[in-house]
Structure 1
Amino acid sequence: MDLTSYVEGLRAELLAAAGPEEAALADRLAAAVAAATRLAMLDALTDAADEITRDLAPGSVEVRVRDRNPYFVVTTPDREPAAPRVQEPELPPEGPVGRINFRPPEQLKQRIEEAAARDGLSVNAWLTRTLNTALAAGPAPTPAAPKTGSKGTFVGWVG
């Protein structure tokens, strides 16, 4: 997980908040804030991993650092002891990360979580991999035209 974009975003906000007279001071402070920001983010990720581990027990999530960037090691409770699986991104980032609020039905959510666990991935990594595979296969099938129901209502779905 590359923290650079987060640190640079905070630096840019600090510089934008400074007026012309404070620009030089803000630039010097931004360098100091960058290191403190990385440490604070690592602390937050470690706390999150600890909280997830409590909910995942007997599995666990660890945060490790390589080249100043954190990555996750997820150990799932398999029938036989297995080596921890390293959670690193499968695809290089292609610019800023987008966020989608996805609310699947509970049954589908459970199936997604089971599939991700089976593959040793986080739900986000599993969904990203699955969607990349699906999109590489071509466009999604087009739904049938809506049918007219009784009393002039339409039956179908809206995209």
Structure 2
Amino acid sequence: MNLTQYVDQLRQELAVAAEAGGDEARALAERLTAPLESAARLTLLNALSAAADEITVDLAPGSVDVRLRGVDPEFVVTPPPAAEAFDAQAEYAALMRAQQVPPPPPAAPAAPDAAEDGGTARINLRLPAHVKSRVEEAANRDGLSVNAWLVRAVSGALERPEAPAEAKSGRHGSWSADNRFTGWVR
């Protein structure tokens, strides 16, 4: 996407506004337009990035990313994965049984609707390097951006049903690490 036309349009609008102020204002506007070009480009990039974030929330599990190549941004759209001709979940379950690996937790729900929670919020998340690389691998494996994958993971963690209070307290049994309840029943 070529931002030059938008920056030029902003420069022309500033010149038109300065015309109303006379020669002094026009000279000031001419001196300010060159330093303002980089600030205008940065502001446009921030707006495009915010728009891509909003679109990603609606497109999940697909995503839209903004990448800067040279001086102009480009959009990278990752569509949601297409439906497979075979039953991938059954294939995975058979493979896990053969390797005697416990099945993964249920799939996380889709990202919540932005209108439902009042929009998106930006946070900084610090991860250990080894965890970050595993998140990136998982996101690539699922065909998602890291942001979309993290939104799904957090949403899934928040949607898991809680264990009954009695079971958590250990009065009649206990929950094991693999979400199995052991105990007795009357």
Q: Under TM normalisation by the shorter chain, which class is it?
A: 0.3 to 0.5
Greater C-alpha Rg:
2
Question: TM-score w.r.t. structure 1 length?
Answer: 0.48
Q: TM-score, normalised by structure 2?
A: 0.41
Higher relative contact order (CA 8 A, sep 6+): 2
